[in-house]
Structure formats: structure tokens, C-alpha cells
Structure 1
Amino acid sequence: MKFTSTISAAAIAAAIAAPALADVENQDPIKLTTHDWTGQIVNTTILGEVLMKAGYNVEYVQADYIAQFAGLKTGDLHVATEIWETTGREAMDEATATGDVVNMGESGMIAIEEWWYPAYMEERCPGLPDWTALNDCAAEFATSETAPMGRYLGGPVTWGGFDEERVEALGMDFEVVHAGTDAALFAELESAYQREAPIVLWLYSPHWAPAKYEGSFVEFPPYSAECYNDPSVGMNTSAAYDCGKPTGPIWKVAWSGVADKWPGAADIIKNYTLTNEEMGALVAAVDLEGKSIEDVTDAWMAENAAKVDGWIN
């Protein structure tokens, strides 16, 4: 999951749309949450542009990925564009069960988030991508701070993911070290890859990285909901999370009052989708080509004008 130093998240979060261009049900701003990874900010900004084209006022509010559900329940926040099946399903299910948050459907993107290693590590750690090989060569992945344990570079703590729980449940000789930001995560990957230095880290799709770097996701025991919720299920009968992460849709969610206050906007939010391929190209344009969020979203809106009009009408 995801944010780079080339983007001013604070500026985006503070941005408020220009006055509405058409009569809509309510002129109060629809508050869309932004997080700390590039793709989600691009995604949310495009949705905001679509809503503004339809005549709605929009406000972007920077919020924590999981903690945002508190604001969505109360109506202080209104729409979240990306709840990943891999990391956000439990929080989403808990929130929707209250009736205060509603699932607005699939985003069109399919999420993969898992441990990943560069292809050159297969010579140094025979047996990969099987997760059991990692314990045999944990020393290869060790740093001065983690030795004799290997180091797994996780995403920012706010992304969730249960990596510490999985390491403990599977008895892995690894220490989880969290990157401070999305930018730091991929900067370290780039540095390691150029030097062919040992690294195993959190990688996700949709994103440009799996296409740019040659490597593989680690293969853990298959995910099941029971593995996460019932300690008796799985390899370790006394601990949960002893399996891989789920894969599946990236969801849109909203405060339950959105459909009553802005029914036309609710329809647009449900209709709005992007594909993995679109998202990968959009993130690459920002992260690799140095384009601004505004330029990327403006170009996408121009290229997809007919699609946008279909969502609105």
C-alpha cells in the first residue's frame, strides 16, 4: 500500500473543490479520505474530480487507513475509496455490521499484498518461494540490528497486515521492521536491487514495482478466514494468522448517510471503478516519471471523458 515524497499529501488533504457547477441535492462537501500511498491518493482524487464534474463539492481529508472507520461511522468522514481485502476486511466487516458504514462495491482492482524477494535471492536461499526456506537462510537477511534474526521490511504500521502475528505463529526466525513511509519502502527496495543486496519486504499490487523488479511473492500456507479467526486451524493449533494473506477485491465504503444526503453522488461512487492496469500506470506516472497528482488526474479525466459522463448520467 504507498505514498511518495513527490506528493504533498498535506496539500491534497487540505484541498477543497471549486464551487459546484450544477444543481445537486446538497452543497455540503463530500469528505473523501486520503491515506499514505500514491495509488490511493490518485484514486481518490480522480473520484473527487468526477464528483465535482457532476456538480458536487468535495473535500479531501487525510486519515489513517484503519482508524478512518471511526469517522465514517459518525459521518465526520464520508467516503473511502480503497479498503483492501488483504488488510482491511476485518475492519470493514466490523464497521458495516454496525449499519453506520455501507459497502459501496468493488473498486475494479484486485489486491495482492505479501512478502516479496528479488529473483537474485533464490541462489542464496534455495527453496524459495516456499516460506520454510526463509528460516534456513535467515542469516542472509539479517542486519546488524536484527542479527541473528533475519529482517522483514514491512509497510508502515498503519497498514496492518498481521506480520508480527504470522512470524510468531509460524515460528519464523525473522524480526519485522516497519518502513516509515511508502516512499521509504520502495527507496530501500531500489537501493537493495541495484546492489543485489539481500531483502525481503512487503510488496503489493496494483503497483508498478512487481513489473519493474524481477522477483516473486513468498508462498505461505494458503489463507482461509478460519486461519485468521480460529487458532485451532492451521499449522500452529494455538495461534491464528499462521497462513498467507488473503487476496481479493479492493472495496469502496461510505458513511451510511451518503445515499440519503447525496443520492446522485452515491450512484456515481458505486459506478466508479479503475483496473489494476490503469492504477499501475497512474502510480508509475507519479512515482517514476515525476508527474504531479494534478497532471495525472487531469490527463486521465480527459482521456476517459465518455466513461466519466456515463458514471454521472
Structure 2
Amino acid sequence: MKGAPRVRRARIAALTAGALALTVALSGCGKADPYYSGSSKTVTLPVASWAGAEANVAVVKQLLEKELGYRVKAMQMDEPVAFDALNSGKAQALLEDWRGVPKKEEKYVKEKKTVTYEGPMGVTGHIGWYVPKYYADKHPEVRTWQGLKKRYKDFRTPESGDKGQMLEGSPSYVTYDAAIIKNLGMNFKTVYAGSEAAQIKEMQKNYAARKPFVTYWWTPQWLNSQLDLVEVKLPPYKKGCDADPDKVKCAYPHTALAKFFNADFARDGGKAAEMLRKFRWTTADQTKVVKWMTIDKMDTDEAAARWVEENKDIWSKWMP
């Protein structure tokens, strides 16, 4: 859920566990390229388990299929698995990466050269620790980690015992919270909800009851428009302070979310690779689609189709 936030995060209530295949009938056959599957050209895109990543893929799916004649297969994958899939050629393009697996990035991009870095996708992400504003207003000291440290008893739960609970999402997200807690000498324990959906449910329940809670969280995220949260100030991020996962005691960075391609696709992917390379939209664009998907309960493909219909001036620049 995003130097990057090592997540990952944060997350799609709309996606189910396991593989998700998105298929749509195609028209036309176009120029032959390595991504034909039978009578259709197939591009496989990893989808991380949070709504922003789903919105990215849903929008480019509309364009690849309806404008360029491809078939898009979206597969839910955590960040490390997605990099392995790009390396092996089982997936072609990762559209939102929080730079959370630097060792795999080093191995596949720089050493093996089986994966290519394709630049930012337009959204900046940030991970941090958050408390509800109603609690921060009552206890303003918790706006810093030092003040939060002193008030750990307010956050104790049956799951955390005599320690304060740091609410986490999925165990698959690459986070540093346990190390930060240990290295700052805080009497807290990370407790995993199990998924983004479960984490959101727990946050909403505590918020409705006006209970204190502190959680690993990120921006952009659709829930931030419904819950008034305040970020806890951790020691400032400095380049390299998160180089050793066991020694981290600094804040998470702000990260320009990035695109990565399978190297063969980057070279021989034809119009699909051209379009995905040009794909770049803003946080506002992504948030609009996510709002339709989550708050307004629109079907994912319908939300993406609506954005495509309303924003030809933006996506036309991505076309080959």
C-alpha cells in the first residue's frame, strides 16, 4: 500500500484471493506479435491487492481491448511475485510498483536485464502511521512518535496484550513497522488484520466507536475521504535509512510509483508496449476511478469505461 514504501500494500476489497482473469470479446486481429493467443493478442498484467492498482489495470484494459484489439489477463499478485512473473515472462507489465523489493529490482533489472524500468506512472505514494484526528485533538502529543510511545496503554487490545497495537493489513505487504517499533524502543506490537478489506473494516469500526487506534496506512487511498486521520511524525526519512530492514528507525519516503516491463515485451510488445509506456495519469484521475469503484459501488469495468469516455483528451496521448 506503497523509495518506497515497501508494500504491499495496500489491498483491493473488490478482488478475490488468487488469480483474477478479466476477459472481454475482441474485434479485429491487427498485426501479428508475440502476444497473440489463438485469435487474440494477450497481455498479462499483475494487479496488486489494493484499489488504486486495480483502477490502473481496469483503465488500460479498456484501451488495450477496445482501441487496440488485445485481450487483457489481469492476475492478482503481491509485489515480489509480480517481479518474478516479469522475469519469467509470465507477465508483461507492472503498472504500479512502490519500489518495495529493491533486491529483486537489482537482480532482474540491473543484473539479469530481464525486467526494464519504464519510469513513473504519475502517482506519488506515501506510507506512514496514522491515528484518528479525534484522538489526536484530545492527545496532541501522539502526533509524534515520542508522544505515541508514552501513550501505548491507550492502544492495548486482546491481540496485543500488555503492548499497544499497531494495526497492519496483509502479512504479504513489505513493511518496516516491527523494526521501527523495536529500534525506537516502543512498547507496541504489530497485529495483522489479514487483508486491506479486513484492515479497513477494523478502522471503520474503531472510528465509529471513537476508539483510539494507530495503523500503518498510505496515500492515496479512498478511505481517506471518509476518515479524518493524522499522520504520526516519525524520525525523518533520509536516503539509505531503510537499507537494512532490521535497522530501520525512520519514516517511510514519498515514492513516485513506477512501471516495470518484461524485457522481451519492452522490446517486442508492439502497440501494447507503446501504449503502456506512455500510460501516465494523476493521483486525481486514479482517485476518481477508485471512488466510483469503492464509495459509489460501481462495477470496476464500468468505472474504468466511464473514465475512458470522459477523458479522451488524456488517454489519446497514450495511443501508439
TM-score normalised by the chain length of structure 1 = 0.89
From 306, 312, 316, the equivalent of 1:299 is 306
Kindly tell me: are residues 36 and 107 of structure 1, through their superposed partners in 2, closer, same or farther at Cα, counting changes over 3 Å? Answer: same
Letter in 2 for 1:35: A
Deviation at 1:94, TM superposition (A): 4.1
Q: Give 2:162's aligned residue.
A: 148
Deviation at 1:21, TM superposition (A): 3.1
Deviation at 1:311, TM superposition (A): 1.1
Of the structure 1 ranges 98-107 and 9-18, higher mean CA displacement relative to structure 2 is found in 9-18
Kindly tell me: are residues 134 and 95 of structure 1, through their superposed partners in 2, closer, same or farther at Cα, counting changes over 3 Å? Answer: farther
Q: Give 2:7's aligned residue.
A: none
From 238, 245, 251, the equivalent of 1:244 is 251
Q: Distance in 1 between matches of 2:233 and 2:107?
A: 28
Q: Give CA-to-partner distance per residue, 1:148-200, whole Å, 9 cap, x none.
A: 21001112121212211211122111100112111111111111111111111
Alignment partner of 1:55 is 2:69: yes
From 162, 167, 171, the equivalent of 1:157 is 171
Q: Give 1:24's aligned residue.
A: 31
Letter in 2 for 1:174: F
Q: Distance in 2 between matches of 1:62 and 1:89?
A: 20
Contact 1:24 1:56 in 2 (8 A): no
Contact 1:139 1:150 in 2 (8 A): yes
Q: Give 1:265's aligned residue.
A: 272
From 226, 230, 238, the equivalent of 2:240 is 226
From 193, 200, 223, the equivalent of 2:207 is 193
Deviation at 1:103, TM superposition (A): 0.9
Q: Percent identity?
A: 23
Alignment partner of 1:82 is 2:57: no
Q: Give CA-to-partner distance per residue, 1:128-164, whole Å, 9 cap, x none.
A: 2111111100000111221321001112121212211
Kindly tell me: are residues 275 and 93 of structure 1, through their superposed partners in 2, closer, same or farther at Cα, counting changes over 3 Å? Answer: farther
Classify the secondary structure of the residue corresponding to 1:148: coil
Alignment partner of 1:177 is 2:194: no
Q: Give 1:99's aligned residue.
A: 113
Q: Distance in 2 between matches of 1:221 and 1:285?
A: 36
**Runs of 5+ unmatched residues, structure 2:** 2-9
Of the structure 1 ranges 135-144 and 9-18, higher mean CA displacement relative to structure 2 is found in 9-18
Q: Give 1:69's aligned residue.
A: 83
From 111, 119, 132, the equivalent of 2:133 is 119
Q: Give CA-to-partner distance per residue, 1:251-306, whole Å, 9 cap, x none.
A: 01111111222132222112111211122222222221111101101101111223
Classify the secondary structure of the residue corresponding to 1:177: strand
Letter in 1 for 2:58: T
Letter in 1 for 2:294: D
Classify the secondary structure of the residue corresponding to 2:44: strand
From 56, 60, 69, the equivalent of 1:43 is 56
Letter in 2 for 1:43: N
Q: Distance in 1 between matches of 2:297 and 2:130?
A: 25
Classify the secondary structure of the residue corresponding to 2:172: helix
Q: Give 1:203's aligned residue.
A: 217
Q: Distance in 2 between matches of 1:251 and 1:93?
A: 15
Q: Distance in 1 between matches of 2:106 and 2:234?
A: 24
Deviation at 1:18, TM superposition (A): 2.8
Contact 1:32 1:48 in 2 (8 A): no
Q: Give 1:308's aligned residue.
A: 315
From 34, 53, 68, the equivalent of 2:47 is 34
Q: Distance in 2 between matches of 1:262 and 1:288?
A: 36
Letter in 2 for 1:311: W
Contact 1:141 1:200 in 2 (8 A): yes
Letter in 2 for 1:227: C
Classify the secondary structure of the residue corresponding to 2:248: coil
TM-score normalised by the chain length of structure 2 = 0.88
Letter in 1 for 2:230: S
